[in-house]
């Protein structure tokens, strides 16, 4: 059993400054007073657990993560609920994905209970940093890096550092009652992930490879890139930081249907994606997982069969998509405004996260 040594920060952010940050946190800009760290070595396994002041690491310039990017991370949130309780949202699901990412990147497994204990420790210590407005939260970023110094590259590192940092957050792309619709860019030049690659792992390198295309998207008035499959450049996969859902008008049984691309190994298995697939049927919304091509997307929007599209992820929660652009053309979705199915799912999910709605799957993990 690993114990955590507690070293409180003797110079925490002054209360007035913290309150000003919490009033308008943005996303990923400011960090709390503490962090949790754990070390791993082949001889000792996980050891040296610490809750310590947030601050820089001292690392040898030859440390392998700087050269070969052996790294993985998670993104998750703690919410302040109506009764003042703080709850993590599905930390077990993030722990399981972290294990899968680490396995793919040839890194050691961090037991789920240790992962969750590290989060609980940081959130309890920095509980004053959890904002309370709906749509705001304390964003938690657990990550693991390879720390062996040296440029040898035939074997993975023999030592690792696990760390959790926390940052008060507004939902990325806006937390208001009516979220801003996104413009998305179909990348015809670049590919995010190929079969057999690391696309399903939450590894930093997957994100590094996307910035060039994202810059192109922003240059064309878009917020995010939609990635297509590597082989045919035809099938919609994900948006890099978010999964996509397509909303179809009610058919014979009167229920709208949400469809998302299947987990083929090249896209990230989002926890929000999984939560919506479980939650939608409770709200009378049918679900499906099937491939959708760019051509179908355009045609089904034009015919009115496809009424809404939204993106989902921990950081963004649920963000409507209003417009699709690419080098070869553009089209809009519905009237470009967030549709009723998108808003209904968003309201329900945020309601569970903030404890305003029943939690039928016991997703809230009280700290
Ligand atoms: C998240 O939604 O938590 C993510 O990790 C996506 C992005 C912020 C990189």
d(CA 172, CA 188): 25
- At residue 145, the 3 state secondary structure works out as strand
Question: What is the C-alpha separation between 266 and 9, in angstroms, rounded?
Answer: 41
The residue whose C-alpha atom lies closest to atom 7 belonging to ligand 1 is: 241
Separation of CA 207 and ligand 1 centre (Å)? 10
Give the CATH number for residue 241. Answer: 3.20.10.10
Query: Residue 362 falls within a domain, yes or no?
Result: no
Same-domain status, 130 and 208: no
Residue 175 forms part of a structural domain: no
Match 């569970």 to its residue by tokens: 352
Q: Is residue 220 part of a domain?
A: yes
Q: End of a domain among 142, 170, 198? A: 170
The 3-class secondary structure across 222-251, one letter per residue, is: CCEEEEECCCCCCEEEECCCCEEEEEECCC
CB 329 within 8 Å of CB 301 = no
How high is the pLDDT of residue 328? 87
For residue 312, how far is its CA from the centre of ligand 1 (angstroms)? 10
> Do 20 and 119 lie in a common domain?
yes
User: 270-328 pLDDT, tens per residue?
Assistant: 999 999 999 999 999 999 999 999 999 999 999 999 999 999 999 889 999 999 999 98
Give residue-wise pLDDT tens across range 1-59.
Answer: 799 999 999 999 999 999 999 999 999 999 999 999 999 999 999 999 999 999 999 99
Q: How many A from CA of 189 to the centre of ligand 1?
A: 23
- Of the residues 148, 170, 192, the one at which a domain ends: 170
CB 319 within 8 A of CB 292: no
List Cβ neighbours of 16 (8 Å cut-off, separation of 6 or more).
none
Yes or no: say if 239 and 311 are a contact pair by the CB < 8 Å rule: yes
Give the tens place of pLDDT for each residue, 255-272. Answer: 999 999 999 999 999 999
Residue 270 CA: nearest ligand 1 atom is 2
Q: What are phi and psi of 247, to 5 degrees?
A: -105, 125
Judge if 97 and 219 occupy the same domain: no
188 plus 165 within the same structural domain:
no
**286 and 193 within one domain:** yes
Among 170, 193, 212, which residue terminates a domain?
A: 170
364 within a domain of the structure (yes/no): no
Res. 162: pLDDT tops 70 = yes
SS3 356: coil
What whole-number distance in Å separates Cα of residue 18 and Cα of residue 32? 9
Supply the range of the domain harboring residue 246: 182-354
pLDDT band at 174 (very low <50, low <70, confident <90, very high): low
Residue nearest ligand 1's atom 8 by CA: 315
Q: What is the pTM of this model?
A: 0.95
Can you say how many angstroms the Cα of residue 294 is from the centroid of all Cα atoms in its chain?
24
Average pLDDT rounded to a whole number, residues 74-98: 95
The CB density around residue 343, as the number of other CB atoms within 10 Å, is 18
Of 166, 241, 267, 269, the one to substitute when testing ligand 1's pocket (max ligand atoms within 8 A of C-beta) is 241
3-state secondary structure 148-161: CECCCCCCCCCEEE
Q: Which pLDDT does position 180 carry in this prediction?
A: 87
Reported confidence tier of residue 177, pLDDT bands at 50, 70, 90: low
Residue 350 lies in a domain: yes
Q: Name the pLDDT band for 176 (thresholds 50, 70, 90).
A: low
pLDDT at 190 over 80: yes
**Are 207 and 321 in a shared domain?**
yes
Q: At what angle do helices 91-104 and 112-125 cross, to 10 degrees?
A: 130
Q: Do 74 and 222 lie in a common domain? A: no
Give yes or no: residues 143 and 257 share one domain. no
- 294 Cα to the center of ligand 1, angstroms: 24
- The residue nearest atom 9 of ligand 1, judged by CA position, is 241
For ligand 1, what atom is nearest to the CA of residue 172? 8
Residue 269 C-alpha to ligand 1 middle, in angstroms? Answer: 12
Domain count, the chain: 2
Same domain, 147 and 208: no
In a domain, 367, yes or no: no
CA–centroid distance, 75 to ligand 1, in Å, is: 5
Q: Do 145 and 207 reside in the same domain of the chain? A: no
From the CA of 313, give the closest atom in ligand 1: 2
Residue 187 contacts residue 226 (beta carbons within 8 Å):
yes
Do 112 and 254 lie in a common domain? Answer: no
Ligand 1 center from residue 314 Cα (angstroms): 6
Pocket test for ligand 1, best of 71, 75, 225 (most atoms within 8 A of CB): 75
Same domain, 165 and 187: no
Q: How confident is the model at residue 230 (pLDDT cuts 50, 70, 90)?
A: very high
Is 177 within the bounds of a domain?
A: no
Which CATH number covers residue 54? 3.30.470.10
The predicted pLDDT at position 252 comes to: 83
Residue 29 resides in a domain: yes
Q: How far is the CA of 20 from the CAs of 143, 170, 355, in angstroms?
A: 28, 14, 25
* Distance (Å, whole) CA 190 – CA 167: 31
């Amino acid at each position: 059993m690993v114990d955590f040594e507690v070293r409180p920060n003797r110079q925490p952010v002054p209360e007035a400054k913290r309150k000003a940050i919490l009033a308008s946190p943005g996303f990923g800009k400011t960090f709390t007073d503490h962090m949790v760290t754990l070390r791993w070595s082949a001889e000792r396994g996980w050891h040296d657990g610490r809750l310590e002041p947030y601050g820089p690491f001292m690392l040898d310039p030859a440390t392998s993560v700087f050269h070969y990017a052996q790294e993985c991370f998670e993104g998750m949130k703690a919410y302040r609920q109506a009764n003042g309780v703080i709850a993590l949202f599905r930390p077990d699901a993030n722990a399981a994905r972290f294990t899968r990412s680490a396995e793919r990147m040839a890194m050691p497994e961090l037991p789920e209970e240790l992962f969750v204990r590290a989060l609980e420790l940081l959130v309890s210590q920095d509980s004053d940093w959890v904002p309370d407005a709906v749509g705001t939260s304390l964003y938690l970023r657990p990550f693991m890096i390879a720390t062996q110094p040296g440029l040898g590259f035939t074997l993975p590192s023999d030592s690792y550092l696990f760390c959790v940092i926390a940052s008060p957050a507004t939902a990325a792309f806006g937390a208001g009652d009516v979220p801003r619709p996104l413009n998305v860019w179909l990348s015809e030049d670049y590919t995010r992930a190929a079969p057999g690659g690391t696309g399903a792992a939450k590894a930093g390198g997957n994100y590094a490879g996307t910035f060039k295309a994202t810059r192109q998207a922003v240059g064309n008035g878009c917020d995010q890139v939609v990635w297509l499959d590597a082989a045919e450049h035809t099938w919609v996969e994900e948006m890099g930081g978010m999964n996509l859902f397509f909303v179809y008008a009610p058919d014979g049984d009167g229920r709208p249907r949400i469809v998302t691309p299947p987990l083929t190994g090249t896209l990230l298995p989002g926890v929000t994606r999984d939560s919506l697939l479980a939650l939608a049927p409770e709200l009378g919304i049918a679900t499906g997982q099937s491939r959708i091509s760019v051509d179908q997307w355009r045609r089904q929007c034009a015919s009115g069969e496809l009424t809404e599209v939204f993106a989902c992820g921990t950081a963004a929660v649920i963000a409507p998509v209003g417009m699709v652009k690419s080098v070869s053309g553009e089209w809009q979705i519905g009237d470009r405004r967030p549709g009723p199915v998108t808003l209904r799912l968003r309201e329900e999910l945020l309601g569970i996260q903030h404890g305003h709605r029943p939690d039928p799957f016991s997703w809230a993990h009280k700290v």
